[in-house]
Amino acid sequence: MFGVLMITLLLTIALVGSNMDTILKQGIVFQVRSEITDNPSISKSFTNPEDFEKFIQQKIDERINTLGLDTPWYSPQRIGYTMLKIMMLDFGNATFLTSDAGSSNVGDILLEKIPKTVLLFTTATIIISIIGILLGAASSNKIGSKTDRITSVFAVISSSFPVWWIGMLMIFVFAFMYQIFPARATPDIEPSDPTYIFSLLYHMTLPVITIVLIGFGSWAYLVRNFMVGVMQEDFITAKKTMGISKKKIIYKHALKNAAPPIVTILALSLSGSLGGAIITEAVFDWPGMGRLYFEAISVMDLPVIIGSTYILTVIFLISIFVADLLYGYFDPRVRTSV
């Protein structure tokens, strides 16, 4: 797992490394030239423009050397150093973007954005899983019933709609036709305001509704399929013959046994949705990780790109790990067999 993390990091650096070098070098050239123009006494001391030009070039080279930029970005010690720094969660400073508080430290920016993304997507996923589990259990109760068929059809249809497109339609319906919710999900008041949290929740409604609408169908379908499998097992038949009511069997006994795969998928879909957040947040203008990533890409703010890719991968891997642990918790057979 650690290896995967390293490979992701290496790939990211490999992809953006050469660009980063060019940008850094240009930054130095600009810096040196502006320092020299700020100080007119330097240019006065030169009579020959060629000498002056040479002096500037020398200064630039000097600074490039001290920063270690003379070796190419793919040299082992530079890659090693960059990776070490990132592993210690030191992402450096962003080139263009700043956090709301004005800090340009990538760590600060990420810390500010992550809670908002987590808030949005965890809320949505929790609602999705509650609706999905209840609906799935209900439709597995009567296979072939109206509920069951509607759930299946809805699952297929909703899974082929892009979330962001539904998002645009929702904005059209609820922000333009009926002005219930705001079109932009970024709250328009300062974070220090005491009513900020309410404003945030109000702005969150539309994205949450959209994500839930698209997500719960396939969830219900999955739960239903697991439940159908469990309901055919012997212990359920035994419970039925004991005269326990069907409702109790489904919601107490069968659901518990279908839990392991459900929990795994819950963990995976939660982390998977974080990747999808890039587009969803761009539609709703939600001030989270996804939009940060999108903004970083559009202005080529490389430290932010590397930092957020790293964090996304970490979250993804952690959730795979947690899913494995939970699987063992719910299904002791897995634990003993290891």
Catalog residues that contact another protein under the rule CB under 8 A: 1, 3-4, 7-8, 11-12, 15-16, 19, 143, 156-157, 159-162, 164-166, 168-169, 171-172, 175-177, 183, 228, 275-276, 278-279, 282-283, 293-294, 297-298, 300, 305, 308-309, 312-313, 316-317, 320
Longest dimension (CA), the chain: 105
Rank residues 261 and 275 by Cβ distance to another protein and give the closer one: 275
Q: How far is the CB of 228 from another protein (least distance, A)?
A: 7
Query: How far apart are the C-alpha atoms of 257 and 18, rounded to whole Å?
Result: 52
We find the least distance from the C-beta atom of residue 329 to another protein, in angstroms, to be 22
> Which CB sits closer to another protein, 32 or 254?
254
Which residue number, 3 or 194, has a Cβ lying nearer to another protein? Answer: 3
Residue closer to another protein by CB (options 126, 279) is 279
Specify the residue, 99 or 218, whose C-beta has the smaller distance to another protein. Answer: 218
Contacts 24+ apart (CB under 8 A), 214-217: 214/158, 214/159, 214/161, 214/163, 214/166, 215/124, 215/125, 215/128, 215/132, 215/158, 215/269, 216/127, 216/128, 216/131, 216/132, 216/135, 217/151, 217/154, 217/155, 217/156, 217/157, 217/158, 217/159
Q: Please give the Cα distance from 199 to 73 (Å, whole number).
A: 45
Please classify residue 326 by burial: count the beta carbons closer than 10 Å to its beta carbon, then call 0-12 exposed, 13-18 middle and 19+ buried: middle
Instruction: Give the nearer residue to another protein in terms of CB position, either 56 or 236.
Output: 236
Taken in order 36, 41, 42, 46, the sign of the CA dihedral is positive
Least CB distance from residue 10 to another protein, whole Å?
11
Answer for the pair 258, 60: CB distance below 8 angstroms, yes or no.
no
Least Å from the CB of residue 136 to another protein = 14
**Which phi and psi angles does 179 have, rounded to 5°?**
-80, 75
Residues whose CB is less than 8 angstroms from the CB of residue 255 and which lie 6 or more positions away in sequence, other chains included: 133, 137, 227
Q: How far is the CB of 72 from another protein (least distance, A)?
A: 16
- At position 279, the amino acid (one-letter code) is I
Question: Positive or negative, the Cα torsion across 31, 32, 33, 34?
Answer: positive
Choose between 8 and 104: whose C-beta lies nearer to another protein.
8
Q: Least separation, in Å, of the C-beta of 217 and another protein?
A: 13
Shortest Å distance, C-beta 129 to another protein: 22
Residue 246 CB, nearest approach to another protein (Å):
19
Place of tokens 């650690």: 2
* C-beta of 144 vs 332, nearer to another protein: 144
